[in-house]
Structure 1
Amino acid sequence: MAESLHPETHNTKPVNDTWYASWFDTPYYHILYKDRNYREAQIFMDNLTHYLNLPEKAKVLDLACGKGRHAIYLNQLGYDVIGADLSENSIAEANKNANETLHFVVHDKRIPFEEKFDAIFNLFTSFGYFEAEEDNLKTLIAIKESLSDYGFAVIDFMNVHTVLENLIPEETKEVDGIVFHIKRYLANSFIIKEIDFEDQGQKYHFEEKVKAYTLDDFKSMMDQAGIYLLDTFGDYKLKKFHKNTSERLIMIFK
């Protein structure tokens, strides 16, 4: 899995620190995932915005935007974009690219925005981090409440069935001279990734966790949230979703 999930950490910050203040805020997170396919991500956003038929200068929210690469691209497509993320370091970095129609804010995704958006994108498995089910439900409700009357939301999640089928239990990956030892497994309905490495004589251990939500799980939560699921796709080219073979679970709702 190439996504960042729900991390906990030792050695770098106090153990009681929250996940989003640890792994996402370290330079190592960005080193490990530096080879992501951003061209594929741009094609995905081209396809999405075309499918949604967004009006010119539509207001778009990139929820869990990281350092803002995708928000920047959406802004280049002509949209009025806000990128929101819990990581202060990431938002500080993203803010270097801010302009009149591109803004970045530190924001907890469980809280609705006062302003309303024509589209809200939650991309690349940036959902299901929270231990408590109600917090993930709150996130869905907050997305719904932040949409305009004619707005659409998109959650791009992993397809749990395919991920578990192809889970690589252990691998080693060297990036920028750092050797990352990675373990993956399913436990307590979370897909967990343990990451161990050493840098400048210091040992680090991080853990990423994401809830193994299926489409049925999302449908159940969406029912509770009063959300209408409009369509599902199985990859970034917006091909039909097939439970046993699709790479992704992409949901369009309002």
Structure 2
Amino acid sequence: MNTSLIALVTGANKGIGREIAAQLADQGHTVVIGARSLDRGEATAAQLRERDGTVTAVELDVTDQGSVAAAARAVQAQFGRLDALVNNAGISHQPGADFAGQVPRTADVDHVRFVFETNVFGVITVTSAFLPLLRLSSTPRIVNVSSSAGSFAAISDFASTDPIALGYVPSKTALTAVTMMYARDLARERILVNAVCPGFVATDLNNHHGTGTAAQGAVAAVRMATITPDGPTGTFTDAAGPVPW
């Protein structure tokens, strides 16, 4: 579409989030990089501006309500509205840990809770804070970056190569369900809410063991962030189309 959007992408200073921001900027949209470190966010924004993108940055820690509220105020002060919110920020495990603390038979509940704080509660916190700005848009959209690893089809497949991770995998199951709840609740306001799966992309989240690139992983999110006002809501897709979940 030709209309320029104002889009916020969380966790956008690197990985898939950075590529989502880059592709949106390349399409002529105004992009706000959300990052826990303002310095890292500003550095990424500067790099994307070298490609002639209209890109700024805001400090945003999705697990900190004060940080999220401050970011919403900053976006409101600078732009007055938000057209697309891309909830990309996500983690697979605690820093310095691995999936060992998420094996069900020996699970560390604090480790599991830590993952949910970012992947589920962080999305709810950010979405709640930015809904007032989305309501000021004529084409509001919310995109949640989930994962097919959290689909019931994958979880119940004993031959699956997806990790057995009591924090990460169910957090993505929950995120997709959260997406559907928002889609149903906000349908009357014509706010389109969709979940996307980037695929198995090589990023810091999986120690770069993925088989896809960040550019490939961004495709589904960018598509849903730029759908027309009569586009779908309450869907879960990847670059190839609908994802069973």
What is the TM-score when the length of structure 1 is the normalising length? 0.48
Higher strand fraction: Structure 1 or Structure 2? 1
Structure 2-normalised TM-score? 0.50
Higher gyration radius (CA): 1
Which structure shows the higher helix fraction? Answer: 2
